[in-house]
């Protein structure tokens, strides 16, 4: 294979959807697998859709996910600049070249005129297409006399440059994922290549830049497939060799019906963006929700690509090793928010208790609790298997840090027996006498006492958990009381007895 050069070419029109991050990831994996170059090109020629902060958001998202850019705005590179608005001066000559060749033309129709024609056709049950079928009836350098359109140009009338779509021709091309495709040009329109504001459109800038940047493979979302016949024709008109193309399947809603949108995420409580988006209508991000970047990448990697084995957990290095475009499917991939959490759970389990304790200590500090790492490590060891996120640790351990403020009424009704209070009082005095308050030391003493007296273990432990935790949840009782210590344990028994009563 010739030198692999791929690009991720987002438009800075808002926060980057996770589908966009997946496109970047697949480009990156493909480049790294083939010792190639991964380029980040910002396509900001549509000034009306430009959103402040979006470019920085894109870069920060890639950085967070560990997708390293080889050539880009910050990285530099031989084919810069990498922001299309900084390349403005490049494009006009290419539009002119197409006009000279007779493959493009000037068009003077105003958007109001075109809009009127569209509505008129719709009323008659037709679709208006600006192409060979209508071109002659419109105001352009094909329909008008040369003297007329030249005069318009010299008077400075606003115009756009349109591609002259061939009439009724079958265009053949290949897509690595979708195979051979044939499209007849009669369904295509004379797309605008150059706008009256002096900027190229996406189509022209994209093709010119892919050529100048020597892009070998264009890997992008399926939504760009309809543009491919035009792109192929543009390469033909310029006399350039096109790159190879691979159009990635859509990311689908959890129910599999349609494209995954922000609304689905809002409804079901999961993010569809990598990072929190702070501008205007804000949006949740995977980073802020507590996902590890490694988990996030792993989730995206398997939404569309499959390794052909049962393996699900992949590091970035393993993904690079295993990735191939041939194993990307044609059909859309359903996003499963529960599976996403499962991935984070797996990555959290791989962390050491010490790493988690350090992260959790930050969380506790924000809540006004100060504990040393060693104590927290023990605590984390008790609940780690039950949590998928660092923030979940608090939900599983809040009662370690504070005595219950209330006691679960259902549990009282079901589990608080007539003799619960007197048994707890007796347990209190057993515990009071124990000097070594480690879990391993307390357990046999309490068990021996219950056995000797012939008490019901369930009644005692249910009541005990209720006064210590406030509910019937949490890890092993002896681990809990050992961690909170003897004094606190006795205090909680007293408090529980006084609130729940006899
Ligand atoms: N600027 C386009 C986008 O926003 C790029 C499409 C392509 O990769 O050609 O997705």
Q: With 80 as the cut, is the pLDDT of residue 1 above it?
A: no
Give, for ligand 1, the residue of 5, 9, 38, 217 to mutate: max count of ligand atoms closer than 8 Å to Cβ: 9
Q: With 80 as the cut, is the pLDDT of residue 482 above it?
A: yes
How many domains is the chain partitioned into structurally? 3
Q: Which tens digits make up the pLDDT trace of 291-324?
A: 999 999 999 999 999 999 999 999 999 999 999 9
- Mean per-residue pLDDT, 476-487: 97
What distance in Å separates the CA atoms of residue 273 and residue 265, rounded to the nearest whole number?
9
Distance between Cα 38 and ligand 1 center (Å): 15
> Are 459 and 433 contained in the same domain?
yes
95 falls within a domain: yes
Give, for ligand 1, the residue of 202, 245, 246 to mutate: max count of ligand atoms closer than 8 Å to Cβ: 202
Q: What's the pLDDT score for residue 501?
A: 78
Give the torsion sign (CA, 144, 149, 152, 158). Answer: positive
| pLDDT: which is higher, 502 or 424 | 424
| Pocket lining for ligand 1, CB < 6 angstroms | 9-11, 43, 202, 206, 220, 224
CATH code (residue 435): 1.10.10.350
Atom of ligand 1 at shortest range from CA of 224: 6
130 falls within a domain: yes
Q: For 47-51, 165-169, 215-219, 406-410, which range has the lowest pLDDT when averaged over its residues?
A: 47-51
Distance between Cα 11 and ligand 1 center (Å): 7
Residue whose CA lies nearest to ligand 1 atom number 6 = 9
> Are 104 and 144 contained in the same domain?
yes
Q: Which tens digits make up the pLDDT trace of 81-109?
A: 999 999 999 999 999 999 999 999 999 99
CATH code (residue 179): 3.90.800.10
Q: In which domain, by residue range, is 423 found? A: 409-500
Is residue 4 within 8 Å of 35, Cβ to Cβ? yes
Q: 336, 364, 397: which is the final residue of a domain?
A: 397
- Mean per-residue pLDDT, 277-304: 97
Atom of ligand 1 at shortest range from CA of 13: 4
Distance between Cα 6 and ligand 1 center (Å): 12
Percentage of the chain exceeding pLDDT 90: 98
277 falls within a domain: no
> Are 143 and 179 contained in the same domain?
yes
Give, for ligand 1, the residue of 12, 17, 40, 224 to mutate: max count of ligand atoms closer than 8 Å to Cβ: 224
42 falls within a domain: no
> Are 368 and 456 contained in the same domain?
no
Cα–Cα distances in Å, from 160 out to 151, 209, 449? Answer: 15, 20, 92
24 falls within a domain: no
What distance in Å separates the CA atoms of residue 67 and residue 81, rounded to the nearest whole number?
20
DSSP one-letter code for 28: H
Distance between Cα 89 and ligand 1 center (Å): 20
DSSP, collapsed to helix, strand or coil, labels residue 408 as: coil
Distance between Cα 9 and ligand 1 center (Å): 5
Q: Which tens digits make up the pLDDT trace of 488-498?
A: 999 999 999 99
Atom of ligand 1 at shortest range from CA of 202: 1
Distance between Cα 25 and ligand 1 center (Å): 14
For 55, the enclosing helix (H) or strand (E) is helix 54-65
> Are 108 and 173 contained in the same domain?
yes
- Mean per-residue pLDDT, 442-448: 98
> Are 111 and 176 contained in the same domain?
yes
For 294, other C-beta atoms within 10 Å of its C-beta total 19
- Mean per-residue pLDDT, 113-130: 93
> Are 384 and 431 contained in the same domain?
no
Q: 143, 161, 194: which is the final residue of a domain?
A: 194
What distance in Å separates the CA atoms of residue 331 and residue 256, rounded to the nearest whole number?
11
DSSP, collapsed to helix, strand or coil, labels residue 221 as: strand
Give, for ligand 1, the residue of 5, 7, 11 to mutate: max count of ligand atoms closer than 8 Å to Cβ: 11
- Reported pTM: 0.93
477 falls within a domain: yes
> Are 189 and 93 contained in the same domain?
yes
Percentage of the chain exceeding pLDDT 70: 100
Q: Which tens digits make up the pLDDT trace of 348-365?
A: 999 999 999 999 999 999
Distance between Cα 49 and ligand 1 center (Å): 14
Could you tell me which residues come within 8 angstroms of residue 382 by beta carbon, excluding any fewer than 6 positions away?
Answer: 397, 475, 476, 479, 480, 483
- Mean per-residue pLDDT, 275-291: 97
Write out the catalytic residue numbers.
262
Q: With 90 as the cut, is the pLDDT of residue 110 above it?
A: yes
Q: 332, 365, 397: which is the final residue of a domain?
A: 397
Residue whose CA lies nearest to ligand 1 atom number 3 = 10
Residue whose CA lies nearest to ligand 1 atom number 5 = 9
What distance in Å separates the CA atoms of residue 222 and residue 205, rounded to the nearest whole number?
19
Q: With 60 as the cut, is the pLDDT of residue 471 above it?
A: yes
54 falls within a domain: no
Atom of ligand 1 at shortest range from CA of 8: 8
Q: Which tens digits make up the pLDDT trace of 216-266?
A: 999 999 999 999 999 999 999 999 999 999 999 999 999 999 999 999 999
CATH code (residue 376): 1.10.8
> Are 388 and 421 contained in the same domain?
no
Mean pLDDT for all residues in the chain:
97
Residue whose CA lies nearest to ligand 1 atom number 10 = 10
> Are 371 and 431 contained in the same domain?
no
333 falls within a domain: no
Q: What's the pLDDT score for residue 502?
A: 57
């Amino acid at each position: 294979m010739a030198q692999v050069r791929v690009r991720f070419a987002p438009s800075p029109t808002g926060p980057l959807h996770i589908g966009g991050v997946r496109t970047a990831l697949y480009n990156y994996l493909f480049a790294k697998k083939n010792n190639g170059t991964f380029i980040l090109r910002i396509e900001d020629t549509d000034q009306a859709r430009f959103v402040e902060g979006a470019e920085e958001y894109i870069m920060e998202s890639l950085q967070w996910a560990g997708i390293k850019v080889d050539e880009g705005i910050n990285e530099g590179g031989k084919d810069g600049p990498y922001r299309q608005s900084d390349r403005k001066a490049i494009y006009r000559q290419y539009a002119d070249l197409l006009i000279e060749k007779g493959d493009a033309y000037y068009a003077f129709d105003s958007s109001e005129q075109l809009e009127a024609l569209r509505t008129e056709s719709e009323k008659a049950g037709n679709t208006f297409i600006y192409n060979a079928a209508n071109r002659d009836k419109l105001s352009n350098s094909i329909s008008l006399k040369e003297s007329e359109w030249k005069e318009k140009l010299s008077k400075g009338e606003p115009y756009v440059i349109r591609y002259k779509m061939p009439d009724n021709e079958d265009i053949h091309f290949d897509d690595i994922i979708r195979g051979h495709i044939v499209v007849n040009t009669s369904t295509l329109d004379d797309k605008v290549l150059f706008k009256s504001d002096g900027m190229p459109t996406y189509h022209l800038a994209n093709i010119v830049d892919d050529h100048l940047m020597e892009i070998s493979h264009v890997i992008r979302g399926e939504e760009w497939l309809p543009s491919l016949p035009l792109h192929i024709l543009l390469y033909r008109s310029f006399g350039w060799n096109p790159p190879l193309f691979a159009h990635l399947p859509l990311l689908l809603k959890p129910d599999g019906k349609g494209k995954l949108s922000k609304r689905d995420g809002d409804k079901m409580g999961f993010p569809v963006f990598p990072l929190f988006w702070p501008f205007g209508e804000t949006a949740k991000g995977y980073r802020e929700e507590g996902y590890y970047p490694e988990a996030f990448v792993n989730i995206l990697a398997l939404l569309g690509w499959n390794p052909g084995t049962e393996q699900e957990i992949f590091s970035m290095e393993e993904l690079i090793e295993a990735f191939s475009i041939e194993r990307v499917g044609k059909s859309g991939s359903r996003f499963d928010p529960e599976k996403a959490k499962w991935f984070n759970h797996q990555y959290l389990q791989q962390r050491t208790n010490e790493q988690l304790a350090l992260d959790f200590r930050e969380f506790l500090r924000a809540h006004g609790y100060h504990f040393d790492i060693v104590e927290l490590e023990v605590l984390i060891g008790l609940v780690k298997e039950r949590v998928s996120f660092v923030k979940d640790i608090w939900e599983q351990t809040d009662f370690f840090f504070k005595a219950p403020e209330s006691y679960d009424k259902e549990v009282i009704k079901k589990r608080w027996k007539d003799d619960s209070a007197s048994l707890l009082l007796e347990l209190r005095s057993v515990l009071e006498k124990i000097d070594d308050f480690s879990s391993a030391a307390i357990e046999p003493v309490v068990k021996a006492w219950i056995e000797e007296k012939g008490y019901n273990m369930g009644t005692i432990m249910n009541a005990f958990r209720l006064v210590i935790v406030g509910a019937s949840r949490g890890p092993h009782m002896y681990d809990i009381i050992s961690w909170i210590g003897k004094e606190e344990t006795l205090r909680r028994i007293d408090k529980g007895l006084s609130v729940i009563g006899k």
